[in-house]
Amino acid sequence: MAENNFDVVFIGAGPGGYTGAIRAAQLGMKVAIVEKYKTLGGTCLNVGCIPSKALLDSSEHFEAANHELEAHGVKVSGVSLDLNRMMERKSKIVKDLTSGVDFLMKKNKIERFLGYGKITTPNEVEIKAEDGATMKLAAKNIVIATGSVVAELPFMKVDKINVISSTQALSLETVPKHLVVVGGGVIGLELGSVWKRLGAKVTVIEFADRIASMMDSQMTTVLTRSLKKQGMEFVLKAKVTGYKAEKKGKETEITVTYEDMTKNTTVDIKCDKILLAVGRKPFSEGLGLEELGIEKDKRGFIQVNDHYQTKHPNIFAIGDVIPGPMLAHKSEEEGVAVAEILAGQAGHVNYNTVPSVIYTWPELASVGLSEEQVKEKGTEYKVGTFPFTANARAKAIGMTDGLVKVIADKATDKVLGVHIVGPRASDVLAEAVIAMEFSASAEDIARTFHGHPTLSEVMREAALNVDKMARQG
């Protein structure tokens, strides 16, 4: 089995697995990657980041054609939706990108194995193919990168027809009349926006007292206002407790029940589809972890040390399957870090600067601490804000909804957090991430050239405003 001897075997070919595999190959290791699905790229490329962004962009065009182009003096008539074509476009983007990962595996001489991976001993991975055939790989090191799956509620399971998850919400064949979204987190807001723009009535039911409750509260207030203007409806402080589906002729009428925790009442709401978006959970079933004594926490996350090692020093875990934000770029960075650690390098990930983005329109992008978190830590701080309404480029493109907020340490001026609601906030945020990586002060951002007129000038103005020195607006 000499040809099946590897320096490292990655189990799972999502952003964590395939990025780590590439870095390990670049560092001269003999690398294998095991994936149960025929296409590589994991959740992100197949049923996550990429198809959702493709549909967000397409639905934004539909919205613009219907409601926004006229203001630019562009007259359009007879606008209609070809959902089939929109889905084909999305699928083609997914296919191109997943094939791209295949190409990268070949280019980097990474051996790819199709089948379900199980760790049978600390140095052996068994692969079971769809037809039941098994084979074994010998591995000096093993990296578990098996990702996450949709979390369900005990009384609400995904049946793919009445109750759908993000995966089905990315491939619906018709626009629902009324989509009830359970959970006002990232998926609920992004995919709720898609179907709202394509014509559905969308009601988001959220347990917390605000949507996107993990973000800075001032920013979620701005985002909520904007999404409400677009027609999204929100029921907050409401706990979904059950649902029933009844056939009414050809149609199915669904009743969702929730507890209104403000009024202490039980409320029923009717719809024709439920999108369940109450989070995701780590996936490590069938890997053989129990037999190996590899520990998981209460929520099922694999326990690792600072070097991503499990209790077996040559078995590592990265990405969604370990604690931390469930984000593609976090998995990627950990993949690179683990490969570098295997090569004897430092392999460091700076968890203080993980950007987080909700790709609604406007987008909400954030890095570092929220104002609530800074307060909780007891740090003395100062805040500079700047609205997109006062930004020349935002005015020119006609997208002025939004706000930038820079939070800096009161004594040292070091940037602690940056939060943006606005057009292409995800791209504007990039400079804040770099600034924080280099431990910049608000003044460093304020004194850095920003091209004019660009959306990025909002960052400089907000940074100037930390000391109340904005020049525009």
Report CA 345 to chain centroid distance, whole Å. Answer: 29
Q: Which helix (H) or strand (E) holds 137?
A: strand 134-144
Say how far apart CA 157 and CA 56 lie, in whole Å: 26
Q: How far is CA 451 from CA 76, 219, 456, 459, in A?
A: 33, 25, 8, 12
| Alpha helices, DSSP H, located in 115-256 | 166-169, 186-197, 217-229
Say how far apart CA 160 and CA 99 lie, in whole Å: 27
Sign of the C-alpha dihedral computed for residues 317, 323, 326 and 331 taken in this order = negative
**Binders of ligand FAD in range 328-357 (CB under 6 A):** 328-329, 331
* Binding map of ligand FAD across residues 132-161, x = CB under 6 A, - = no contact: -------------xxxx-------------
- Kindly tell me the burial class for residue 198, based on how many C-beta atoms sit within 10 Å of its own C-beta (0-12, 13-18, 19 or more): buried
| Distant-in-sequence, close-in-space partners of 62: CB < 8 Å, separation ≥ 6 | 79, 81, 197, 198
Told to check if 358 binds ligand NAI by CB under 6 A, we report: yes
| Distant-in-sequence, close-in-space partners of 262: CB < 8 Å, separation ≥ 6 | 237
Say how far apart CA 274 and CA 145 lie, in whole Å: 30
Of the candidates 51, 194, 198, 206, which one interacts with ligand NAI according to CB under 6 A? Answer: 206
CA-based Rg of the chain, rounded to a whole angstrom?
24
Out of ligand NAI, ligand FAD, none, what residue 147 binds, judged by CB under 5 to 8 A for its kind, is ligand FAD
Say how far apart CA 49 and CA 44 lie, in whole Å: 5
Comparing CB distances to ligand NAI, the nearer of 123 and 213 is 213
Comparing CB distances to ligand FAD, the nearer of 166 and 220 is 166
Binding footprint of ligand NAI, residue count (CB under 6 A): 26
* Shortest distance in whole angstroms from residue 101 CB to ligand FAD: 10
* Binding map of ligand FAD across residues 55-74, x = CB under 6 A, - = no contact: --------------------
Comparing CB distances to ligand FAD, the nearer of 16 and 422 is 16
452 is known as an active-site residue? yes
The residues that bridge with 117 in the sheet, in sequence order, are 127
Out of ligand FAD, ligand NAI, none, what residue 116 binds, judged by CB under 5 to 8 A for its kind, is ligand FAD
* Shortest distance in whole angstroms from residue 249 CB to ligand FAD: 32
Told to check if 269 binds ligand NAI by CB under 6 A, we report: no
Contact (CB, 8 A) for 136 and 120: yes
Told to check if 202 binds ligand NAI by CB under 6 A, we report: no
Told to check if 369 binds ligand FAD by CB under 6 A, we report: no
Of the candidates 320, 340, 371, 431, which one interacts with ligand FAD according to CB under 6 A? Answer: 320
* Shortest distance in whole angstroms from residue 135 CB to ligand FAD: 13
Out of ligand FAD, ligand NAI, none, what residue 185 binds, judged by CB under 5 to 8 A for its kind, is ligand NAI
Told to check if 98 binds ligand FAD by CB under 6 A, we report: no
User: Residue 223 — φ and ψ, nearest 5°?
Assistant: -65, -40
User: In 3-state terms, what secondary structure has residue 343?
Assistant: coil
* Binding map of ligand NAI across residues 155-194, x = CB under 6 A, - = no contact: ---------------------------xxxxxxx-x----
Binding site for ligand NAI (CB under 6 A): 153, 182-188, 190, 205-208, 213, 239-240, 277-280, 325-327, 357-359
Binding site for ligand FAD (CB under 6 A): 11-17, 34-37, 42-44, 48-49, 52, 116-117, 145-148, 166, 187, 283, 286-287, 319-320, 326-329, 331
| Residues carrying an active site annotation | 452
